[in-house]
Every structure is written in structure tokens, then in C-alpha cells.
Chain A
Amino acid sequence: MIEVRFHGRGGQGAKIASRILGRSGFLSGLYAQDFALFGAERRGAPLASFTRLGREPIDQRGYVETPGLAVVMDDSLLKEAPEQVFHGVFAHTPLFVNADPDQLAARTKELPPASYIFIDLSAIARELIGSAFVSAAAAAVAARSIPAIELQALSEAVKIEIAEFGLPADIIEKNQAAARRAYAQAPIVPVSPNSTAMEILETAWQAVPYLGSAQFAGPTIRHRGSAALRETGNWRTERPVIDLAKCKRCFLCYLYCPEAAMTLDSENFPHVDYDHCKGCLICFEECPTDAISRRLEA
């Protein structure tokens, strides 16, 4: 069995990538399973999705703990969600990163060990699809290293999955082209099967002792203001930008902001806390003087 893990942000298509790869295996006569893991996340939040392929019925479910191959569809996750990206990744684990190959040496110097392959999936998507939608390309680089998957099956899988997503025929064809390009560009890497064979540990059952303290009885957080420690600014796909020259200081943006990410200065002008603004753009919608504009994140 081969286990593949995709890392992306909500809205980037990690789930579709895992489905394209799963469908590719299915169409190639393999046993296949795909699964996306997200709960309370929204667009922009880090998430992971998984594909399992094998010649025998698949007897695993849930999170892929030690992937045979992983694809990081958003390179900012290397720094921002390392506990997810590098979970169960070893020096020999192929880790495809959607980034400029020229930056490989400079950017991996201080990262945990992995067998890094930088490949600019976004450039492929921009050129062939005209958007940053990298699902097809991400699935293709993984498929390239799985001999049982034929290019034809991959292409058909892209068609089915993108169609299921409700996109029109021309977009489907563009995604197929992106998949073929990524398939052609990707190197073939050794994918270790059975990499999930979990380390056999001696079962260490431990009864949870009764702590006896009322302080820890329920899920109560006493540390005040701890939400500020969690930076959610990287969830944004777009950011609000305030033109203070047009601002009438009506406070509506300040009042409507659901994340308390709008602050007022000593003269009552609003400022965005970009470390925590999630980019919902309610302020943009509410501003009566159009002093707030929206700008795509780089």
C-alpha cells in the first residue's frame, strides 16, 4: 500500500488533489481510498488530505501518519504548519513543495530533513488554467511516481473530479493540460510502500487518574486573551486596506469586525491587525465611504 499526503490551505484544492489521485488509482484497477481532514477550518486554514492506493484491500483509515510521499501545495506551510507537514516525514520521504526550484537550497537549509523536490505548480496553473488552482498538478506529481497509474487514467480522473466540482468543460480541459504538464515535469521518486507500518510499541495502558481538582474538571480555559497568541492572519486570501484619507471615523468597521482585529488609534482612526484579520472583508462591505479596499494576498 502507498500512502500519499497533501497539505494545502482551505480553498486551494488539497481535497480535490487527493480525490484525483484516488480516482486515478481506482481507474487503474487499484484498491483506492481518499479522505480529507478538516473540521472547524475555513478558507485559508491549513488542512491535510490523503490518498491510499494498493493491490490488496486497504485496511487503514484516517490520518496518514507516515506518508510514502507528500505534496505541499502552499510553501508557506513549511514554516507555519511544520507540525503537520513534517509529521512522520523522514530524510528519505519524498516531499514535493509547490515553489520555485531555484530556491531549494536556500529554503530547506533550516528545515527538518526530507527528500525535498521543489516544483512550481502555481506557475503551471497560472499558465495553463489561468488561476492558482493546483489540484490537478499536485495530484499529477504524486501519480508520476506510482507506476500502476497511467497518464490516461490520471487525465480521466481529473475530468471526473473537476466536473463533479461543477466547473465547465473548458476549465476541465485546462486542468487536464496542467496535469499532463506536471506529470511530464515531475521526477520519478522512490515511494516507500508500507511506510505506515507503525512502530510496534509495547502497549502502555495507563488509566487516567482522577485528578481530584475541580480546576481541571471541564474544558475551561482560564488564561485570558490567549486567542491573541494564535495568529490567524495567514488564513487570508484577500486583505482589507484602509485609505485613512477617505475615513470619516464612523467606527462601523471597528464595530462589525467579528475578530476584534480592528483597532482605533488615539485619533479614532481604524487600523487592521493583520496578524489576526482572517480576511472576511465584512469591513469592506460595511464601510459607508468606500475607504476600505480589498487586495489579493501575494
Chain B
Amino acid sequence: MTRTMLTGNAAAAWGARLAEVDYVPAFPITPQTEILETLAGWSQLGEIPARVMMMDSEHSMLAAAVGAAATGVRVFTATSSQGFLYGFEMLYAIAGLRLPLVLVNVSRALAHPITLEPDHNDVLSARDTGFLQFHAETSQEVLDSILMAYRFAEHEKILLPAIVNLDGFYLSFTREAVEVPAPEETRNFLPAFRPAYPLLSNREPVAMGAAVLDPSLYSYFKHQMHNAAENVLTIYPKIAGEFAETFGRRYGIIEEFRLDDADYVIVMTNSFASMGKAEIKRLRQKGKKIGLARLRLIRPFPHEELQRVLRGRKGVAVVDQNISVGKGGILFSEIASALYPLADRPPVLLSFIGGLGGRRFRPGEFDGMLAKMENPTESAAETVRPHLLFTGEECRQVGRFFTIAREEEPSRET
């Protein structure tokens, strides 16, 4: 084990390296490129045995991933945002063929308007594909989640691909201290891949991805995928336990921050949760009984864990760093469905949209969320709608942009 400074992207590359992956189909996109560059460099120097193959697009990249995974080798790849969407069709192919590879997505908000900074509309668009989803807050967690993701994905009772998500910029380009396990140590936790499924090979031909024109047969395979994904929840304690024994770091399905006596809970994901925790600490100093729940596992959705963590609280505010246009926060809806059957569900459940396109929280926004939980004054109709976090100062700033963009203004070019 060594301890060093790594960006989120470098930690992702180290995760793939320690997983001793065999094949890495690649295509560059900001803010992910550094992951594949790092792996390509190691491959060229002979430091890793993996074959890194530059493809002509993300669609080809993921198609190559399908072919390679079908032969039974350990496959790793990474993408982001527009590239993720460009290869989207193949996500269903990978999951439907039950090929257990790991894909790192470096979250970046989707065009248009085009930007480079993060939110989670890219990764959450894949929530229905059959990919497992682990969302990381720190560089350490990126590395660790990749190792764990392979264990879940390759488990014979799961056999589904996994996404490990990290935020662009806030984590991808941010260096922080990471413990990099030794290869021997890692092999104890994650041995070489021995696939139990029929492989694509010349000697033993099989037809993969056969057409299923029978609706019952189609339903059967989809039900199997759903059941397999849910198996993660029962297998989770064992694999997380083995991880903790091997490396000394224990990860829950949900990270519970200052929740013991909390009446009010903020729910967040990914790297912005670090800033959320700082706000919780500040509010705690003011005597507020508030804590933060960070969802690490988003697929399968941890209904029962959420019920355990949130039942009996006085209020819950879900901060979605995404927007389902015309509906609101994606995770808010999912959390509401998990809490509905509880007799002691939190009487106040509010939705906040924040962090779109990398927008940071403004001072006082967490105080505002807490105040709304403490004194709910809104009607039922208002409560189900998302609160879109925005400030007067931002309004004035947008106004200044529009002044510049208006065509009747004289050109500023000289």
C-alpha cells in the first residue's frame, strides 16, 4: 500500500490497473480523457498487460466492449456526458447480454446549452439500462468503488455491468490523498475473472443476443435482470465486509453523516456532498438537529436502506443535481416511492434542484432548506414540485449576459 496524491481520474485509472483489466476500448472526452490517457501510457510502457484500443466513437467503444466481454476477459472503459449518450444504445446491449464490465462515467452536464461542468443527467439517463450504479464522493472512493464494482458485476448471481460515477472537475481534476493498495493485496479481494457464462469462442461457438420475438420470453429475461440487480442488496454486506477486512475502509450503501439524532435529513450524492457536509457541521454548531444521507448505490435502488435511514425523521430534503424537465428531481421521485409505504414516513419531503451545470450552493441555501422543513407552509400541490435553487445575484448576472447577447447592442469587437 502506498499513499499519494491522485485526481479522481487518476484514481479511476489506478482502479482499473489494480483490477488487472485485460481490455480497455477508449475514446477521449473532457473531463474523462485523463483516465484513458493514463491507462494508455501504462500500457505503452508495459507497466500493465491491458490492451488499450482507441476507437472511432463511444458507440464503437462500447460495441468493442461487448465483443471483448463476451470472450470472457475483464473489460474497463470510461466516458462522459455527450459521449456517454452517443454510446447509449450499447448500454442496453451490454446489460441485456449480462456482460459484467465496469464503465467509469465522469459526470458532465448535457448540451444544449453546452458546458463542461458536472451534473448527473448524463449518468442518471442510464438508470433503466441494467447497469449497476455506484456514485463516489472522493478519489479514494473512486478507486475503491471500481474494485468493488467488479466483484458485484462478476458475481454469478448478478452478472450485470456497473457504472462508477464521479463528478467532472470537482473530483475528476481534483487531487487528494489516496491509499493505493498493493497488487497482491488487491488480488485477495478481487481475484482474476473466471466467467461462468458461455463465452464467445471459435472452438465452442454460441449464438449470443438471439432474437426473442416472444413477449413472455422477453419479459422473462428482463425480470431476470431485475432480480439479478436486486441480488446486489443481499450480497452487499458480504462484499463490503470483505473489502473492509482487506483494506480497512468500510462503505455502506448509504453514507450516514451526523444522522444519529437528526430530525432533519438532507439527501445528496457524489462530490457535492462534501460541501453539504460542511453545511451540516455549520448548522449543527447552531444547535440544529440535521444530518446528511449520501446515496452511494443508485442501481439497484436501496429502498429498504432508505426506509431504515429516513423513517421517523421530521423532514427530508432531497437535493437533486439533475432535472427531469417537466417533472423535477429524479432521485426525489425515487425516494418518495421508497418512503410511501411507511406509516412513520417523514411528514415533510421536499425537492431541491441544485448543482446543475456545476452550480455551487450559495450561502444560506441550506439554512433555507432547513427552514422549509421546520415550517412547511406550502400546499400539497406546491410541495410535490421542485424548488429550483437560484439567487437574486444570479438573476442580475444572467441579465448582464443577455445585455451582451442582444443583437441591437453595438458590436464589442474592434
Contacts and interface: CB of A to CB of B under 8 A. Distances in A.
Main SS at interface, chain A = loop
Nearest to B95: A218
Interface residues of A, number: 19
A210 B221 contact: no
Nearest to B159: A217
A220 B223 contact: no
A298 to B, nearest CB: 30
Interface in A196-238: 207-222, 224
Contacts of A224: 205-206
Most buried by B among A40, A207, A213, A220: A220
Given A208-B224, A210-B228, A210-B231, A218 B97 contact: yes
A39 interface: yes
A268 to B, nearest CB: 25
Contacts of A216: 224
Interface stretch (B38-46, B75-83, B207-215, B347-355): B207-215
A246 to B, nearest CB: 36
A217 B98 contact: yes
Contacts of B97: 218-220
Given A214-B159, A214-B196, A208 B227 contact: yes
B210 A220 contact: yes
A220 B217 CA distance: 12
A162 to B, nearest CB: 30
B153 to A, nearest CB: 12
Contacts of A213: 156
B49 interface: no
A208 B210 contact: no
Given A208-B227, A224-B205, A218 B212 contact: no
B210 A219 contact: yes
B86 interface: no
A91 to B, nearest CB: 28
Q: How large is the interface on B (under 10, 10 to 19, 20 to 34, 35 or more residues)?
A: 20 to 34
Given A39-B213, A40-B211, A210-B231, A219 B197 contact: no
B30 to A, nearest CB: 34
Interface in A30-87: 39-40
Contact of B221 (A39, A40, A207, A219): A219
B390 interface: no
A216 B220 CA distance: 11
Contacts of B206: 220-222, 224
A204 to B, nearest CB: 13
Contact of B212 (A209, A211, A219): A219
Contact of A217 (B217, B223, B224): B224
Interface of A: 39-40, 207-222, 224
30 contacts: A39-B213, A40-B211, A207-B223, A208-B219, A208-B224, A208-B227, A210-B224, A210-B231, A211-B224, A212-B157, A215-B197, A215-B198, A217-B197, A217-B224, A217-B228, A218-B96, A218-B97, A218-B98, A218-B99, A218-B209, A219-B97, A219-B210, A219-B211, A219-B221, A220-B97, A220-B197, A220-B206, A220-B207, A220-B210, A221-B206
Interface of B: 96-99, 156-157, 159, 195-198, 205-213, 217, 219-221, 223-224, 227-228, 231
Given A217-B98, A220-B97, A220-B210, 12 more contacts: A208-B223, A208-B227, A210-B157, A210-B231, A214-B98, A215-B196, A218-B98, A218-B197, A218-B208, A220-B198, A221-B207, A221-B210
